[in-house]
Structure 1
Amino acid sequence: MNSLSSSRSQARLRLRVRPAAESHLRHGHPWLYEGSIREQNRPGESGELAVVFDRQDRFLAIGLYDPDSPIRLRVLHVGKPQNIDAAWWAEHLETALARRAGLFGEDTDGYRLINGESDRWPGLVLDRYADTLVLKLYTAAWFAHWDTLTDLFASRFPDMRLVLRLSRNIQPAAAARGLHDGDVLRGTAPQGPVVFRESGLRFEADVIRGQKTGFFLDQRENRRQIEQLARGRRVLNAFSFSGGFSLYAARGGARSVVSLDISAHALASAERNFALNADPDVASCTHRSVQADVFEWLTTSRDRFDLIILDPPSLAKRESERAQAVRAYARLAADALRLLEPGGVLLCASCSAHVSDEEFFAAVREVAQRSGRSFKELRTAHHAPDHPASFAEARYLKAIYLQF
């Protein structure tokens, strides 16, 4: 992969950075912010490969330059100089795929193949749903290398459909190149949601317009854990979305499951997912969908449950919302405890990167202690193995299991 053709006649874009940034790069941080650059030899173009030199004028790192983002450089490689060409990218892809080798059996064909910066593919996610790949981009820097990128995926996955998803902030830049969110780049457009398998269960993924890339693949390990805890229990799946936790609980032998969500669209998807699965345990479980605001419903319901799952969407999308989010997590846990029977299990999860593990776990534990009920902490959990998180800003997912 070469830099922009318009830049080939120019000198290589060279950056020198502040000492703190140099240290961060050496220790594996994948971002270089605008304010950390103290010198560059010329203006850079979007997607250009830029080299960072250290204080001794030695090669330190190379990455994708983005003049329109506060993250000016997204690092591809740190250490000895490397030639970033087609062979390098092919090997780079195989490294990411090798990390997933052996993680999934034939009963699972929905998982993450590339997890952005943590796989050294900055601002790029690639998910698989059965015969469909979904490529999601978070930086316009990739458009400078579009043909190389798509040719590489076509060569490695010749029989798979490829769908493009775009973060909102780069959609104008994509449109200037004739690319749009939901474009089918290769293969025929799907006739409705794509059906894939996870641990033998069948789910639908709206790969064209759905949230994220069509499904919340990152909660797979927690769904599997809920299956192990569900037998004989009455289960509440709050913020249920398309019913992932609900289905696992049903297959695990739950007596009943309530899927609670404010979105009628999400609940309809959950009903379809139940219909996709002919497992005897799923069929014998009483499943009920409730459309309501979770915060309000928890304070008014008189139902009782033996297992409650609280998996809200991100409650802190920016740092200024962090304290408010911590209070909201605590409120949810306290209100859920009011509905939890003795011996019941509460799972609280957070996908807010701005709320640290320590803050989130402390908030839930404090609620448990203040409840006056005896409890034990069963476990805490973080990222699934196909969603590695190699630096602080990437560590968003955490969960805690408490039994009362």
Structure 2
Amino acid sequence: MIKISIKKGYSEKIREGFPLLTKEMVQQGDIDDEGKIFTAIDPRGKFIARGYLGKQNKGSGWLLTWDHQEEINEAHFKKKIEEAAEHRHAFFEDDQTDAFRLFNGEGDGIGGLTIDHYADHYLFTWYSEGIYMFRDEIIRAFEEVISYKSIYEKKRFDSKGQYVEDDDFVKGERPDFPLIVKENGAHFAVYLNDGAMTGIFLDQRDVRKAIRDEYAEGKTVLNTFSYTGAFSVFAALGGAMKTTSVDLANRSVSKTIEQFSMNGIDYEAQDILVRDVFRYFNYCVKNEIKFDLVVMDPPSFARSKKHTFSASKDYKNLVKQAIDITEKKGIIVASTNAASFDMNKFKTFIDQAFKEKGARYKIIETYSLPEDFRTTEDYPLGDYLKVCVIQTR
């Protein structure tokens, strides 16, 4: 264990519960030793908190305990997993949904780690070499708390912050893929052994349900940046007249067909297009094509041959393009997972877009992360999801 002295201005911030150690906080101490347990001390040498070193995004490590007596070991990890499982008790009992997040990083007390549940198969995602060095202790602690069919893992910590290609299987019985999981009564095919993505983003569960139950019936629906078409599936299940799914990736077609088929939906009655979304918007304007419901959930940053998209810089213009192809009194579901700005800033982008188009609107409702994506008030950046359901006037 090493000691890291924290600058005076940051000592109180950590003492109050802020869990991320950043380079600018450090007065003295080596922060480059991945996986090393450290004690954070204030300029007077007094204990503040204890954590581990691990480079993740802009951070250098995570604080895990503010108790001077508590050690970071297998017992510590077991306690955190027990608390997380108790918090998800209702999800374990839900016979309509069996895909959810069991453990959500710093929201459950261990920054750098998530654990997702897919029909009793579990996916561990490690976000730094530092946390990965505790892998064996964490998995042993997990096994003491949770019964499982299999464990898979994803490593997201190479030098560029991308996915580390590897055999994802850890232990248990290898299932046949795809796994079929349930979400609010719908079915999805997921793959725990096929690259960085599984086939469904669990954090959009509540939004998908709202589209099915409240907004889709009798509507024409455009799902942009559609990935595997999950929003389109729920729109179709909600009685949409027709869905159009648009994504730049070629494999989105077969993946979307698979998800429609899982739910008994005739995929040939839907449009599934491989297009640059921005060019497709222009095509719709040129051909006077409009939709009753437009869903936009772009990545925080994306690049195609002709476009570079950054949510913090370009979301306003994306909304402006959506306004052009949305019917009067239509609905725009605007979503972003960018952690660099909050909901108030996001609403500002929307407001600016409508003002610049000379259009009126009303935000009907908003969504953030669902209950299983537990967050802490001490780290607002962890509550990254922002969704606004907008009615054009």
TM-score grouping bracket, smaller chain normalisation: 0.7 to 0.9
Cα 1:154–1:170 change in 2 (3 A) is farther
Residue of structure 1 in register with 2:295 after alignment? 309
In the TM superposition, what is the alpha-carbon distance from 1:145 to its structure 2 partner?
2.4
Q: 1:47 aligns with which of 27, 35, 38?
A: 35
| Distance in 1 (alpha carbons) for counterparts of 2:125 and 2:148 | 19
Residue of structure 2 in register with 1:16 after alignment? 5
TM-score by length of 2: 0.88
Cα deviation, 1:211-250, whole Å, max 9, x if unaligned, reads: 4454211111111111121111111111111111111111
Q: 2:112 aligns with which of 96, 99, 123?
A: 123
In the TM superposition, what is the alpha-carbon distance from 1:170 to its structure 2 partner?
6.3
| Distance in 2 (alpha carbons) for counterparts of 1:96 and 1:311 | 28
Is it true that 1:388 corresponds to 2:374 in the alignment? yes
Cα deviation, 1:348-402, whole Å, max 9, x if unaligned, reads: 1111122332332211122223333332220222112111332133232111111
In the TM superposition, what is the alpha-carbon distance from 1:47 to its structure 2 partner?
1.7
Matches within 5 A, 1:18-37: 18-37=7-26
Alignment RMSD (CA, Å) = 2.8
Tell me which moved more, 106-115 or 91-100.
Answer: 91-100
| Distance in 2 (alpha carbons) for counterparts of 1:69 and 1:171 | 10
Is it true that 1:150 corresponds to 2:115 in the alignment? no
Is it true that 1:364 corresponds to 2:342 in the alignment? no
Which secondary structure does the structure 2 equivalent of 1:272 belong to? helix
Q: Is the 8 A contact 1:256 1:285 kept in 2?
A: no
Is it true that 1:77 corresponds to 2:77 in the alignment? no
| Distance in 2 (alpha carbons) for counterparts of 1:43 and 1:298 | 47
Gaps of 5+ in 1: 1-11
TM-score by length of 1: 0.85
How many residues end up aligned between the 2 structures?
A: 380
Cα deviation, 1:186-232, whole Å, max 9, x if unaligned, reads: 12444333221111111112222344454211111111111121111
Cα 1:102–1:36 change in 2 (3 A) is same
| Distance in 2 (alpha carbons) for counterparts of 1:57 and 1:153 | 35
Matches within 5 A, 1:293-372: 293-301=276-284, 302=287, 303-315=289-301, 325-372=311-358
Q: Is the 8 A contact 1:136 1:213 kept in 2?
A: no
Gaps of 5+ in 2: none
| Distance in 1 (alpha carbons) for counterparts of 2:55 and 2:333 | 42
Residue of structure 2 in register with 1:6 after alignment? none
Percent identity over the alignment? Answer: 26
Q: Is the 8 A contact 2:257 2:267 kept in 1?
A: no
Cα deviation, 1:162-184, whole Å, max 9, x if unaligned, reads: 11101142699x99xxxx63420
